[in-house]
Structure 1
Amino acid sequence: MPPTMPAPSIRIPMELLNPTAFSQFGTVVVNPATCPSSKLPIPHRIPPPDAVSANQGSATKYLDVTHMSNLYSLAPSKKPAKAVMNMFVCSPRNLRPHEPSMSMPSSWGDLDLDEEDDEIGSYQKQLLDVTILERHPFTTQTFIPMGLSQQDKHTQYLVIVAPTLPASASRRHVGRAPPYPTPHIERKRSVMDIFARARPSPYTNEAAPPVSQFSRLHPSARPKGPGLPDLKNLRAFVATGSQAVTYGAGTWHAPMIVIGERPIDFVVVQFANEVGNEDCQEIVLKPDNTTSEGVMVMVDTDSSGTVQVKAGVGSVKAKL
């Protein structure tokens, strides 16, 4: 059984998925020429990847559109991992009717969660319970939807992510040590070790220590540490069929969630070494004794089934 952690009563508004808003959690793979976020003001825009002409001039090739990381050298077992490609056929999730609540809003704005969004009351307000989060501590994980049109408004998928708490805060939160990856504890170095590692080294011409291997990684792909998810800063993004998403190594996220009328097929690319707790770690979110609900995402749709987005840069009350 996965471990549990107490969950506050909190309702999360949805945001449009775009590279800027998602950058601390991973990368969004999208055509830079047609991506709506390319029209955001410069402070909120991520520079597009480099591009070259390809296929005898008939194609534009964008370079390094996402970042794959294999950090299994840090895993306790030291068992090597290999690249794997799987397919997930994800069915639509069950939603429940909206009910007024004293749940606190998330940290993404002081929205009135029970306010009617239009004059005629045509929006359907529903709730999605978030009961489990997972992470893949030593690998990125890329989800590529298949057969979902960008114009499909009756089926979408949600990308739900949370930052990682410091390990010390996680221990206070649940009264026990968090699951690994545990921090590597370095042994005390002898005087000879200190002299041998001094810079400039007496044995080499190096003037500075080598750059950490992690400094070359995209910030979202660097190790996150052993902390539990920060539920008060959990975010929910709604994606279109033109977007794939890469979770950074160790990023807490919900299993892929489809809402709407039909399943979505995803091709999933990651590394794995077939050691269960190193490939995937889960945490069950259990409402504590003082709350009645737990963590929920607000899913509001209009009469055509189009999701209404309430939060995020440039997207308040925007339609997909």
Structure 2
Amino acid sequence: MPTKMPSPSIRIPIELLTQTSFSQFGTVIENPAHSPLPRSQLGPLPTTVSANQGSALKILDVTHMSNLYSLAPSKKPAKAVMNMFVCAPRDLRPHEPSESMPSSWGDLDFDEDDYSNADRELFDVRILERHPFTTQTFIPMGLSGQERHTQYLVIVAPTLPASSSRLHTGRPPPYPTPQPKKKKNGIKDIFARARPSPFTNENAPPPSQFSRLHPSARPKGPGLPDLKNIRAFIATGNQAVTYGAGTWHAPMVVIGARPIDFVVVQFANGVGIEDCQEIELETGKTADEGIVVMVDSDSSGKVQVKAGVGSVKANL
């Protein structure tokens, strides 16, 4: 059974999925030429080279894959796996007025008059999961970047410090990370570190094995999700997404008329609790509805962006 966590009453506006806005959670895989953002807002472009006898453009290093299973308690090695998820459209409920404030966007005015030309529905976030020792890449198949009737949401949350876990659940972190074993040192080793040779650096501390990883791919620790800073992004068929190792996220949420096939690439070692960990969100005693994503659509069914870059009735 998943660990349960009380949920505050929060309504979340939808943001445009860009590499800049998503960087703390993972990477966005897309051809910059198809981005809805102007060139000035794209940030550094990936390196490209000519390929296939000049008939193709090869875009290098589009995502960051990590295998951190050496940190897993079982020490069972993992292998790269590729699966397919056929994700059906999610059920949305009709919009109802609420006093809930959007997470991370409390300074914005989400007045009801702003949505007079939009059809608003609500998606209830009831479960979050993470893969603590591996990145996970979702690649949509058969979905046009111009599709107006089927899109998907990417819902993510930062990780709280482990010390906050007891405050939320009344017990220690549900998924502890093993402490590194301390090396037993002899007298010779102690003195060697105290007076290192000026001609070598063999006694200098080795660089962290994670220092070369993209920040989103480094271990997140055993903490619970930070529900007050949960965010929701809308993605097009031109975009794939990689969740960083240990990133809390909702299972894929398809919005619209038809299912989407996703090819999913990750590492796994077959130990259930090490491959996937889940948190079930329970509406708190003082909360009205829990965590809700506000899904606003125009007359054609296209989801509208209501926060961040490209917000306020922007079309994807």
Same fold at TM > 0.5: yes
Shorter chain as normaliser: what TM range? over 0.9
5 Å-filtered alignment, 1:162-241, equals 162-187=157-182, 190=185, 192=187, 193-197=189-193, 200=196, 205-206=201-202, 208-241=204-237
Q: Which residue of structure 2 lines up, in the alignment, with residue 18 of structure 1?
A: 18
CA distance in 1, matches of 2:128, 2:95: 22
- The percentage of counterpart residues that share the same residue type is 77
CA distance in 2, matches of 1:195, 1:284: 51
| Cα deviation 1:100-144 (Å, max 9, x = unaligned) | 1111221124233452225xx331111100000000000000000
Q: Which residue of structure 2 lines up, in the alignment, with residue 275 of structure 1?
A: 271
When normalised by structure 1's length, the TM-score is: 0.93
Distance 1:97 1:205, change over 3 A: closer
Q: Which residue of structure 2 lines up, in the alignment, with residue 3 of structure 1?
A: 3
Q: Which residue of structure 2 lines up, in the alignment, with residue 51 of structure 1?
A: 48
> 1:191, CA displacement in angstroms?
5.9
- SS of the counterpart of 2:121? strand
Distance 1:208 1:94, change over 3 A: same
**Do residues 304 (structure 1) and 300 (structure 2) align?**
yes
Indicate if the aligned counterparts of 2:173 and 2:223 stay in contact, CA closer than 8 A: yes
| Cα deviation 1:166-218 (Å, max 9, x = unaligned) | 00012222111112242515448556354455573699543732211100000
Point out the more displaced range, 264-273 or 300-309: 300-309
5 Å-filtered alignment, 1:23-172, equals 23-37=23-37, 39-41=39-41, 45-117=42-114, 121-172=116-167
Distance 1:38 1:65, change over 3 A: farther
CA distance in 2, matches of 1:213, 1:316: 43
| Cα deviation 1:218-241 (Å, max 9, x = unaligned) | 010000000000011000000000
Indicate if the aligned counterparts of 2:71 and 2:178 stay in contact, CA closer than 8 A: no
Distance 1:128 1:114, change over 3 A: farther
When normalised by structure 2's length, the TM-score is: 0.94
CA RMSD, aligned part only? 2.0
Which consecutive unaligned segments of at least 5 residues does structure 1 have? none
CA distance in 2, matches of 1:163, 1:269: 22
> 1:72, CA displacement in angstroms?
0.1
Indicate if the aligned counterparts of 1:130 and 1:254 stay in contact, CA closer than 8 A: yes
Point out the more displaced range, 22-31 or 301-310: 301-310
- SS of the counterpart of 1:214? coil
Indicate if the aligned counterparts of 1:32 and 1:38 stay in contact, CA closer than 8 A: no
Which consecutive unaligned segments of at least 5 residues does structure 2 have? none
- SS of the counterpart of 2:112? coil
User: What count of residue pairs does the alignment treat as equivalent?
Assistant: 315
User: Which amino acid letter does the alignment assign opposite residue 149 of structure 2?
Assistant: H
Q: Which residue of structure 1 lines up, in the alignment, with residue 247 of structure 2?
A: 251
**Do residues 291 (structure 1) and 282 (structure 2) align?**
no
Point out the more displaced range, 243-252 or 301-310: 301-310
Indicate if the aligned counterparts of 2:141 and 2:260 stay in contact, CA closer than 8 A: yes
> 1:259, CA displacement in angstroms?
0.6
